[in-house]
């Protein structure tokens, strides 16, 4: 499909679909599938009539200062659009040089990085309007040839200068709610937690915490990926303690956060190694981040940090307590206030459905949680239990 031949209505639909793909991770039917020049970039995979974003999209967005700039960055990969925008950028750099603004020119060239190789090869330069004014008005601060568009244009082109070519997306199985092994696979995307997903999730992991699964806590946890992940953490904690050897994990609250236990701003992760050393590692958000990295699962969010996850986890912690998946213990006799698995949910984990999902099919998630915790604790010991740069900030 030639992008230049698109009519205004088709272009508007394509822009909306691209924006939805970047924020939701999947589209059930799409005008993007035949778009020339993007299919080979590994940005998405096609599943029947649907398009599913890949971690390449998230990585691209993370190279940019705001999530909104991922939209012009993706469209800059279209050959015709890229050629026109490169000519504008080259002309704008020449203009800066003619003004003898050495500092601005040096900053722009340094920021361009590997894009400089492309700019050298561009045939000509121009500050005239391009044939893509409708697209530019929708995704840039102004038309590409206008000075106010230059910073975003330069960032978009620089971010996509080293995009892989012909990288085939990983083939992922359909998600089955009662089989966690289908969900937690390398290449899978996970939406940030929210009360209700505005767009149903079929091939990406939903962020919703709504009522699917009815009143049964086990079914509810299996239907909601964030609930399952925190349930699996509590299950891992209990199973680790049951081994009757040194080592384990605790999910504690600082005394000032105890009144907020239903939806705390932060949970502290304390890991005990087999040597008996007890290491206060950091926040639950960072443990989640590390666990997902071991699983190869990517958060569908712009520059999602451990602090971002801590901010979103309050919803999940509240939900798993209301559904009797987690229980809060206020602490007594020298014990810290902490969370554990709810006794009724623990019992359910050893019945037919729970045992199959949590003990057998969910074992890769259990292993990732434990491996992430132990590795994290050893890293803390190696650097003298110094706080991470994010915690220090």
CB environment 57-87: b (16+ within 10 A), e (fewer): bbebbebbeeeebbbbbbbbbbeebbebbbb
Give residue 263's pLDDT band: very low, low, confident or very high (50, 70, 90).
very high
Q: Across the chain, which distance is largest between two alpha carbons, in Å?
A: 77
Give residue 82's pLDDT band: very low, low, confident or very high (50, 70, 90).
very high
Give residue 212's pLDDT band: very low, low, confident or very high (50, 70, 90).
confident
Question: What are the tens digits of pLDDT across the range 127-145?
Answer: 999 999 999 999 999 999 9
Q: Is the pTM of this model over 0.75?
A: yes
Give the pLDDT score at 32: 81
Give the pLDDT score at 2: 54
Question: What are the tens digits of pLDDT across the range 290-309?
Answer: 999 999 999 999 999 999 99
CA atoms of 92 and 82, how far apart (whole Å) = 15
Taking phi over 0 as left and psi of -120 to 50 as alpha, with beta for the rest, 242 belongs to: alpha
């Amino acid at each position: 499909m030639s992008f230049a031949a698109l009519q205004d209505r088709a272009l508007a639909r394509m822009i909306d679909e691209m924006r939805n793909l970047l924020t939701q991770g999947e589209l059930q039917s799409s005008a993007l599938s035949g778009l020339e020049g993007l299919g080979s970039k590994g940005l998405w995979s096609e599943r029947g009539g649907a398009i599913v974003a890949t971690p390449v999209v998230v990585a691209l967005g993370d190279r940019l200062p705001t999530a909104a700039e991922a939209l012009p960055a993706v469209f800059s990969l279209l050959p015709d659009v890229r050629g026109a925008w490169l000519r504008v950028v080259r002309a704008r750099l020449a203009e800066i040089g003619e003004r003898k603004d050495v500092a601005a020119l040096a900053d722009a060239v340094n920021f361009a990085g590997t894009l400089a190789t492309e700019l050298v090869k561009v045939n000509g330069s121009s500050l005239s309007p391009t044939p893509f004014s409708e697209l530019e008005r929708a995704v840039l601060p102004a038309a590409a040839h206008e000075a106010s568009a230059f910073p975003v244009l330069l960032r978009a082109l620089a971010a996509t200068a080293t995009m892989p070519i012909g990288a085939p997306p990983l083939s992922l199985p359909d998600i089955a709610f009662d089989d966690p092994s289908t969900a937690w696979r390398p290449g899978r995307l996970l939406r940030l937690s929210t009360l209700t997903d505005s767009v149903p999730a079929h091939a990406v992991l939903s962020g919703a915490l709504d009522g699917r699964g009815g009143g049964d806590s086990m079914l509810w946890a299996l239907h909601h990926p964030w609930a399952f992940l925190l349930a699996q953490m509590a299950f891992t904690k209990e199973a680790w303690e049951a081994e009757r050897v040194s080592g384990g994990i605790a999910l504690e609250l600082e005394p000032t956060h105890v009144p907020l236990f239903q939806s705390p701003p932060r949970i502290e992760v304390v890991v005990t190694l087999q040597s008996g050393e007890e290491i206060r590692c950091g926040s639950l958000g960072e443990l989640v981040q590390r666990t997902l990295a071991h699983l190869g699962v990517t958060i569908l969010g712009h520059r999602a940090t451990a602090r971002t996850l801590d901010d979103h986890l309050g919803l999940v912690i509240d939900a798993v307590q209301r559904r009797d998946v987690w229980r809060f213990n206020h602490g007594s006799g020298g014990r810290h206030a902490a969370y554990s698995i709810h006794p009724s949910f623990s019992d359910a984990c050893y019945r037919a459905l729970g045992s199959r999902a949590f003990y057998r099919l969910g074992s890769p998630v259990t292993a990732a949680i434990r491996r992430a915790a132990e590795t994290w604790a050893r890293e803390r010991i190696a650097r003298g239990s110094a706080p991470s740069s994010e915690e220090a900030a």
